[in-house]
């Protein structure tokens, strides 16, 4: 007989752990079946808008706040060398009365803090294993582990990343587009302070983005054409550091690499539905977007907060927590946020890559207007860090 739970989360990345903590803190008997990835994640995440508030509300932030750096200024610099070059645009959080847009943190520090909080919740069972079969039926979903044991619940949260088994089990298709771009990620030490500023250089292959970490450290996401990425990633540490210093125009002074490099092919993937057959998709199981504007995991955390809110409310009212009405409400509440950000980033990326002069000119004009028109800049800043429409309760600092 399978072990019975009120909800099962499959996938122990940041989105799955957040969903599991939200559900368990809301009173649901929860299991998380998540296999740790074989390689450590050397990426960082700029947590924007309500993401830090949600992590504070869930009792996670106290375990990792000291490892994060505030993000107070964001600069966009046109480094394309093209005829129609845009002016530099600077966004300052003080302009919209915020101390910071958000906080940047290494993914491994964020995941460690989530795991520490999850381990302290008595009604959350953490299972370090792969799920190998997900079988939904009319009354519930059976999840079979690699060791042969089975679990069952009326609702499963699919947080199992871009090649989601849960998504396939729910027969949910995807819309997908692969870009001819690869992101190289690395963390750096540098001799000049970053002043809590991130700088995004726009190059003909994509953005080269430096984001502050605590002290004299920053993370770099360098978007390149695939052949360039392979060549650059193969450089030894000293040569790569010199290459990074050159590409960053030495704004951070002398650069040294920290151990660990990552290469991520860029694509946009959107699930056609975010829930079906008692399975709700969160994080990259539901949507993948290129790392431009630091949106991906912020969307994933809003997914986790939203399904947590809906399932806990349904449970309190004595309704079926995996019922079609809950999944339809979840899809409706997340669709707009995910679609608008996906479309905006896709458009932004394509206008950067195009050789078509009029489009380059339009892009330059857009950035010129952002630079010159204060009210427009402030609207873009507010919408960029979080949707101005209703946010989930956790993002507003309200417990479930």
Ligand X SMILES: Cc1cc2nc3c(=O)[nH]c(=O)nc-3n(C[C@H](O)[C@H](O)[C@H](O)COP(=O)(O)OP(=O)(O)OC[C@H]3O[C@@H](n4cnc5c(N)ncnc54)[C@H](O)[C@@H]3O)c2cc1C
Interface residue list for ligand X (CB under 6 A): 10-16, 33-35, 37, 43, 45-46, 130-131, 159-161, 165, 183, 185, 221, 264, 283-284, 291, 294-298, 300
Q: How many residues does this entry show for the chain?
A: 400
Closest to ligand X by CB, 205 or 298 = 298
Closest to ligand X by CB, 82 or 145 = 145
Closest to ligand X by CB, 105 or 333 = 105
Laid out side by side, the sheet with 255-271 consists of: 89-92, 73-78, 197-203, 206-213, 217-224, 174-190, 255-271, 287-288
Taking the complex as a whole, how short is the minimal distance between the CB of residue 55 and ligand X, in angstroms? 13
Backbone phi and psi for residue 379, each to the nearest 5 degrees, phi listed first: -60, -45
Closest to ligand X by CB, 46 or 312 = 46
Taking the complex as a whole, how short is the minimal distance between the CB of residue 285 and ligand X, in angstroms? 6
Whether residue 207 contacts residue 201, with contact meaning beta carbons closer than 8 Å, is answered with yes
Which residues are 288's β-sheet partners?
269
Beta-strand ranges (E) seen in 23-88 are: 30-33, 44-48, 69-71, 73-78
Closest to ligand X by CB, 43 or 363 = 43
Taking the complex as a whole, how short is the minimal distance between the CB of residue 221 and ligand X, in angstroms? 5
Q: Using CB atoms within 10 Å of the CB of residue 274, give its burial: 0 to 12 exposed, 13 to 18 middle, 19+ buried.
A: buried
Taking the complex as a whole, how short is the minimal distance between the CB of residue 106 and ligand X, in angstroms? 11
Taking the complex as a whole, how short is the minimal distance between the CB of residue 174 and ligand X, in angstroms? 14
Taking the complex as a whole, how short is the minimal distance between the CB of residue 248 and ligand X, in angstroms? 17
Taking the complex as a whole, how short is the minimal distance between the CB of residue 340 and ligand X, in angstroms? 15
Cα angle 246, 67, 54; round to 5: 115
Cα–Cα dist 298/391, whole Å: 12
Taking the complex as a whole, how short is the minimal distance between the CB of residue 356 and ligand X, in angstroms? 27
Residue appearing with tokens 């046109």: 78
Whether residue 283 contacts residue 11, with contact meaning beta carbons closer than 8 Å, is answered with yes
Closest to ligand X by CB, 264 or 348 = 264
Cα–Cα dist 91/74, whole Å: 5
Closest to ligand X by CB, 37 or 336 = 37
Closest to ligand X by CB, 159 or 244 = 159
Cα–Cα dist 284/392, whole Å: 19
Taking the complex as a whole, how short is the minimal distance between the CB of residue 209 and ligand X, in angstroms? 9
Cα–Cα dist 96/377, whole Å: 10
> Do the strands 131-136 and 124-127 form a parallel or antiparallel pair, or are they unpaired?
unpaired
Closest to ligand X by CB, 29 or 263 = 263
Closest to ligand X by CB, 282 or 360 = 282
Taking the complex as a whole, how short is the minimal distance between the CB of residue 211 and ligand X, in angstroms? 7
Cα angle 295, 267, 207; round to 5: 60
Cα–Cα dist 303/283, whole Å: 7
Whether residue 298 contacts residue 319, with contact meaning beta carbons closer than 8 Å, is answered with no
Query: How many CA atoms does the CB half-sphere of 196 hold within 13 Å?
Result: 15
């Amino acid at each position: 007989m399978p072990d019975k739970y009120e909800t099962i989360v499959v996938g122990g990345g940041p989105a799955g752990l957040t969903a599991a903590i939200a559900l368990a803190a809301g009173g649901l008997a929860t299991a998380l079946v998540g296999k740790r990835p074989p390689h450590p994640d050397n990426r960082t995440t700029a947590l924007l808008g309500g993401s830090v508030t949600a992590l504070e509300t869930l009792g996670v932030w106290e375990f990792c706040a000291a490892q994060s750096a505030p993000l107070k200024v964001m600069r966009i610099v046109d480094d394309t060398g093209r005829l129609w070059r845009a002016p530099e645009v600077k966004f300052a959080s003080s302009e919209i009365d915020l101390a910071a847009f958000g906080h940047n943190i290494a993914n491994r520090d964020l995941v460690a803090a989530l795991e520490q909080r999850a381990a302290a919740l008595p009604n959350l069972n953490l299972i370090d294993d792969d799920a190998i079969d997900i079988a939904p039926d009319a009354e519930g979903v059976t999840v079979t582990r690699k060791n042969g044991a089975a679990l069952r619940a009326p609702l499963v949260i699919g947080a199992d990343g871009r090649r989601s088994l849960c998504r396939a089990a729910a027969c949910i298709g995807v819309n997908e587009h692969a870009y001819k771009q690869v992101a190289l990620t690395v963390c750096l030490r540098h001799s000049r302070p970053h002043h809590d500023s991130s700088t995004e250089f726009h190059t003909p292959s994509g953005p080269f983005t430096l984001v502050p970490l605590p002290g004299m450290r920053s993370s770099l996401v360098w978007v390149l054409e695939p052949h360039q990425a392979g060549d650059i990633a193969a450089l030894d540490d000293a040569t790569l550091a010199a290459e990074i210093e050159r590409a960053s125009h030495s704004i951070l002074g002398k650069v040294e690499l920290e151990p660990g490099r990552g290469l991520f092919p860029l694509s946009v993937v959107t699930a056609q539905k975010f829930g079906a057959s008692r399975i709700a998709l969160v994080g990259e199981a539901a949507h993948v977007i290129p790392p431009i504007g630091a949106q991906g995991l912020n969307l994933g955390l809003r997914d986790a907060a939203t399904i947590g809110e809906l399932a806990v409310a349904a449970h309190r009212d004595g309704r079926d927590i995996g019922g079609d009405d809950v999944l339809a409400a979840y899809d409706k509440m997340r669709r707009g946020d995910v679609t608008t950000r996906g479309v905006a980033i896709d458009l932004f990326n394509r206008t950067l890559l195009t050789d078509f002069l009029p489009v380059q000119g339009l892009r330059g004009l857009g950035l010129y207007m952002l630079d010159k028109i204060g009210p427009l800049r402030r609207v873009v800043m507010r919408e960029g860090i979080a949707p101005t429409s209703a946010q989930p309760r956790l993002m507003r600092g309200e417990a479930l």
